[in-house]
Amino acid sequence: MDKNQKSPPLSDVNTLLGQTWKIYNARLGTLLGIAAIPMLVLLPLLIIGLAAGFLSFLVSSILFDLGALKGLIPLLVVLGLIVVGVITIWSHLALIYAVVKRKENPGIMESYGKVRNRIMSAVWISMLTGLIVSAGYLFFFVPGIIFTVWFCFSFYVLIAEESRGTTPISRSKKLVSGRWWDVFARLAFMLLVLSVVIYLTGAVSGAVRVPFIGSLLGFIVTPFPVIYSLLIYEDLKKTEILPEKTPAPSEKPAS
């Protein structure tokens, strides 16, 4: 590849937002259904956990001491956090799959089922990139931002390219390399838009004293950044400059 050759420009934010809105509208029911699954699963678990904690407090204070069981509480909390993390990652992968395969129109359960065997890979990627990014933020903050942009497409590579191990991480970095500022600007713009919308919604919610408006909006916009980021990833792939293949040496004619 010619080192002086520049990568084609990425789509501007107006184009990305337009395409995101189009896909969002076309797949709205499926995407919101996928986003709703974690709430439908975790809410009953939360209620059961709170009820169990309250009942154990009553029993221990009225009938007998359950002090010996108090040591289990940290373990249960850790297990609960693991369950929440796995379900959240699974839902995120399902959203990505539903958008990646949008021409095939996969349903809610199909999207969850197709990415089920990718959960452990995604957990591994989350742990590894989380450690790297966290270390970057500890060192003067700027490296953390650089690593975040480098690795932000790892899940998209995992689903779209069906790669495993650390390949999605290195592949994400390779796609971003050389176009870091372009990607950063587009992601920062989306973050700014979401922040403004959430702020305004919070202000309206406080003014009318309806607290669930913010939560409802958060649920509704959940697929939006997933679609937007996926479009950037697809743009990076389409405009990627591949190294030129060295032609195989021709065979010498027989003497």
In terms of residue numbers, what domain contains 82? 27-114
Q: Does residue 245 belong to any structural domain of this protein?
A: no
196 assigned to some structural domain: yes
* 31-60 pLDDT tens trace: 999 999 888 877 766 666 656 555 555 555
| 252 in a structural domain | no
Residues 37 and 53 reside in one and the same domain: yes
Dihedral angle sign, alpha carbons of residues 38, 122, 225, 80: positive
In this prediction, residue 151 carries a pLDDT of: 95
List alpha helices for the chain, DSSP H. Answer: 13-26, 28-62, 72-100, 108-114, 119-138, 142-151, 154-160, 167-176, 180-208, 212-221, 223-238
Same domain, yes or no, for 110 and 141?
Answer: no
- What is the radius of gyration, based on Cα positions, of the chain? 23
Region 164-193: mean pLDDT is 93
Using CA atoms, how far apart are residues 255 and 253, in angstroms rounded to an integer? 6
Burial of 47 (C-beta count, 10 Å sphere; 0-12/13-18/19+): exposed
- Mark which of 64, 83, 114 sits at the end of a domain: 114
Q: What is the pLDDT of residue 196?
A: 86
* Reported pTM: 0.81
Range with the poorest average pLDDT among 74-78, 85-89, 104-108, 154-158:
74-78
Q: Say if residue 90's pLDDT is above 50.
A: yes
Q: Are residues 160 and 197 in the same domain?
A: no
The answer to whether residue 246 sits within a structural domain is no
Alpha-carbon distance of 99 to 154, in angstroms, equals 15
Residues 96 and 152 reside in one and the same domain? no
Tokens of 117: 């065997």
Q: What is the pLDDT of residues 95-136, one digit of tens each?
A: 999 999 999 999 999 999 999 999 999 999 999 999 999 998
Tell me which residue of 97, 147, 105 sits closest to 122, measured CA to CA.
97
pLDDT tier for residue 205 given thresholds of 50, 70 and 90: low
Whether 54 maps to a domain, the answer reads yes
Q: Domain for residue 145, yes or no?
A: yes
Look at residue 122 and tell me if it is in a domain: yes
Q: Which amino acid is at 150?
A: W
14 assigned to some structural domain: no
Q: How many domains does the chain have?
A: 3
Lowest mean pLDDT among 126-130, 198-202, 207-211: 207-211
Both 64 and 75 in one domain: the answer is yes
Q: What is the mean pLDDT of the chain?
A: 82
Length of the chain: 255
Q: Is the Cβ–Cβ distance between 116 and 94 less than 8 Å?
A: no
Q: Does 195 lie in the same domain as 145?
A: no
